Structure 1
């Protein structure tokens, strides 16, 4: 079952016996892509053979195309000298660019076309007898050939001039291309001898063909659905962006309310103090968090809230003795890139929440760290909390397990006791990665009453902060967290779809 294009190519190949793709394209009048597809079909049917070989060719660069049109700098300079005989070097600025003037004296002297004289007014160039009647050089011949032929085999060019010289002058480049030649087989010749009827084909069944009944008279083009075609990479969202959007949608479908904020910069009050983290805690030092140099300080919220937070730190709330130090409002006003998304949980609790209520946020956070397969200094966190009258620690473990298994696709989950200044009890969530082993996802716990009461909440609050980048590693099947922000086109194109 040969189509019109295959029959036409076979007939022309029968005349030529052996031909290049370019020759067949000219002989048939078809597009080169159509000829190539026809050849692949003929080869599959045993009617033709396609021979391929890799060869090195030489092509002009953009600079080479420019010089082929207007002439090399030394040729343009020589034309000026042939008219004026003796000129100042500066006079060449009329025909040469600043970059071309710098090496021009050396080029002209090397060819023996000028004499150079140093004067107080600058360099003077005077044409020589050889410059009056210059011979055509190999580089000039090569430029003419390449401008005419567009590309030439490397061996043909090197008969004229070394490719190294052309590369040094940045006028030509070397490439490797595939040369294809097609040869008809005995089986193909046999079919031609039996006779081939060339009849135009229809590729689309139109309403007119159906209503007029002409579909009975025309020949429909057969389609080879197994023929190789150029792979297409349609536009799509970055894989990690897709993952974040789906996480956000799933949480909203589960009844969570999203907490949002415009700025990445936070005061230490919301990042630490409102979370009952003491001002002398080592996590607040430069080794564990970034700080802003300018502006150095922000503003504290309303006086009543600040007073409650201060009391919680100095003397304690809800039966606590606090941290027992003098709390500094100046320290709390310091600005910093947000170190954890839990700062938004504190803001939301102070602003007011529904009870019962479920809240979440996905935020970019910053921490000094050593970059490796599982650590970044700028990464995303998913933070959230649930507030209700009857919540227990077991509810928190259930939510965390569901995150790891249903959202990240982890097969094994472990919980370890942990410590955070603002939760008690506290827990660390880890999941098993086939390449990396057990990986820590994040921390969680029940917010301490000293924190929640200062923010105006009497009910228990269970909360978590999870490195969502690590969740994405599980879902996208990668073993290096840096790949989430990669510019690697191969990975971006081939990354597997999720859900």
Structure 2
């Protein structure tokens, strides 16, 4: 139970001695993660003061553990050769690690297709096995062996470097023999009875971030408008400045190839400007105006046109831009 674990930690910290969370968990057969959880709760209430520590150490791989029990592969191979007296090349190759190490260290003599020992096995030490045992005895401490030895063991993939987070724990400023549950907020009952005066409240964390505000969603019509905008821009149209409310009939209608006799261009559907009633089209290249005229009258680009006499005068009429768009 969490309450029992917290009580245990309160008693331990009450002695005034600083202790390590990992050692505490190991000595009492407890799950260290659960100990850390209880410590964080007690730290929040200032019953204890905990300082995070990080310890790095080596652990043995399964292969390395087998070498601790049975000796290194090179010594296992040497023992085999010693027992057999000699070993054939074919048989030796069945023990690639031990055979390879023995050859590199010049522990073997070759006689034809067979190998015999050049060394006295009884006078040799299995350094690999001894180094691994030393590492185990010193709990995998990084300084348990010389750096070059550790480098060789790592090269042979016999070690794993592990990082362990644990805590140094000591008695806190709000320590008490028993932890009383603190209130998180004042209630109506506390005010009515006056019990809030004797209540202990949880400290407020003024530095915590508030809840993230959730935004709304786009209106379906706005989504449709965005899709049309994407399509039109992809076709080569450009957006006009949104504050340009007055437009010429040329850009608002003719450049979009809307015929001049279209009902939408009548006075009851479009707001025409009285002053100035017309604009100058001199800034527009004449050849572009001619292309628009020709397309309206006889067609082009796969169109047969509208078959009417296009009026330049009609295209000069100023109006309030319609449908929030105009040709460019």
Q: TM-score, normalized by length of structure 1?
A: 0.34
Q: Comparing both structures, which one devotes a greater share of its residues to strand?
A: 1
Q: TM-score, normalized by length of structure 2?
A: 0.50
| Pair member with larger Rg | 2
